[in-house]
A and B are shown apart, each in its own frame.
Chain A
Amino acid sequence: MSVCSKGSGGNMNTVYRAQYPTYSSEYKSINIRLMHLYKKYLSFHKSPVQKKNNRCYIRCYMRLCFNKMFQNKIRNSELFLKFLNLSSSRTSSSYLQYLDQNLNIDRSDPQGEAKHSRYHDEPNHHGEPHLQQQSRYTPQVIHPSLTEICHPLEGLILGETKAEERSNITDSQIDNIQFEHTINIQKHISCRKLNSFYNRIGEVNQDEIRHILSNYKEENVIGWYKQRRNTDQQITFREQVVHENLKRALSNHELIFLLLTPSEITTSGSTHKLEYAVFRSHGSQYCSVPVLVSNLGLLEEQDYWRLSASCSSVNYNHAVRKHRSKFFSSDGSLHEVDEINDMNNSLQGELKMACKKVEESERLVEKLLADVSDLRRMVNDRKQELGEISADGASTPAQPQENVLLCEVIKTLFPGASLLQTQALNFQGFPLPEFCCSTDHGIDIATTLPLILSHTLPKARKGRLGRGGGTSWRKRPLRESSEVPKRRKGMLEETEESLSVSGSETEEDLIPANQNGNDLDVSNSPVF
Chain B
Amino acid sequence: MSPEVALNRISPELRPLLCSVVRNGRVGLDSTNCLRVTDLKTGCTSLTPGPCCDRFKLHIPYAGETLKWDIIFNARDPELPPDFIFGEDAEFLPEPSELPHLVQWDAGDPECLLQLVKELIQQYHQYQCQRLRESSRLLFEYDSLLEDPNYSRSMEIYAGHKNSWTGEFSARFLLKLPVDFSNIPVYLLKDTTLDPGEDVALLSVSFEDAEATQVFPKLYLSPSIEHALGGSSALHIPAFPSGGCLIDYVPQVCQLLTNKVQYVIQGYHKRREYIAAFLSHFGMGVVEYDAEGFTKLTLLLMWKDFCFLVHVDLPLYFPRDQPTLTFQSVYHFTNSGQLYSQVQKSYPYSPRWDGNEMAKRQETCKAVEPATIFGPALPRQIHFISI
A residues neighboring B (CB under 8 Å) = 70-72, 135-140, 142-143, 146-147, 150-152, 193-195, 200-202, 228-232, 234-241, 264, 269, 284-286
Contact = CB atoms under 8 A, between A and B. Distances in A.
B49 A137 contact: yes
B44 A237 contact: no
Given A137-B49, A147-B47, A237 B77 contact: no
Nearest to A244: B93
B79 to A, nearest CB: 10
Contacts of A142: 47
A230 B42 contact: yes
A285 B90 contact: yes
Contact of A194 (B50, B77, B93, B97): B77
B49 A239 contact: no
A241 B45 contact: no
A239 B83 contact: yes
Interface string B67-98: 00010101011001101111000110110110
Top-5 shortest CB links A-B: A201-B96, A230-B41, A150-B45, A269-B46, A237-B84
Given A231-B55, A236-B85, A286-B90, A241 B46 contact: no
26 contacts: A72-B48, A72-B49, A138-B47, A140-B47, A143-B47, A147-B45, A194-B74, A194-B80, A195-B80, A201-B102, A228-B43, A229-B41, A229-B42, A230-B55, A231-B41, A231-B55, A231-B70, A231-B85, A232-B85, A235-B85, A236-B85, A237-B94, A239-B83, A269-B46, A284-B91, A285-B90
B331 interface: no
A95 B88 CA distance: 61
A338 B37 CA distance: 73
Contacts of A231: 41, 43, 55, 70, 72, 85
B49 A70 contact: yes
A481 B94 CA distance: 132
B368 interface: no
Contact of A237 (B55, B85, B97): B85
A136 B51 CA distance: 11
Nearest to B72: A231
Interface of B: 41-50, 55, 70, 72, 74, 76-77, 80-81, 83-86, 90-91, 93-94, 96-97, 99, 102-103, 105
Contact of A151 (B70, B76, B85, B102): B76
B85 A136 contact: no
A236 B46 contact: no
B49 A136 contact: yes
Contact of A228 (B50, B72, B102): B72
A284 B99 CA distance: 19
Contacts of A269: 46
A361 B258 CA distance: 118
A437 B80 CA distance: 129
A234 B50 contact: no
A136 B50 CA distance: 8
A152 B43 contact: yes
Nearest to B46: A269
Contacts of B85: 231-232, 234-237
B284 to A, nearest CB: 74
Contacts of B105: 200
Nearest to B69: A237
A151 B45 contact: yes
Given A146-B47, A201-B96, 17 more contacts: A136-B50, A140-B48, A147-B45, A147-B47, A151-B44, A152-B43, A193-B77, A194-B74, A200-B102, A201-B99, A201-B103, A230-B42, A230-B55, A236-B85, A237-B84, A241-B93, A285-B90
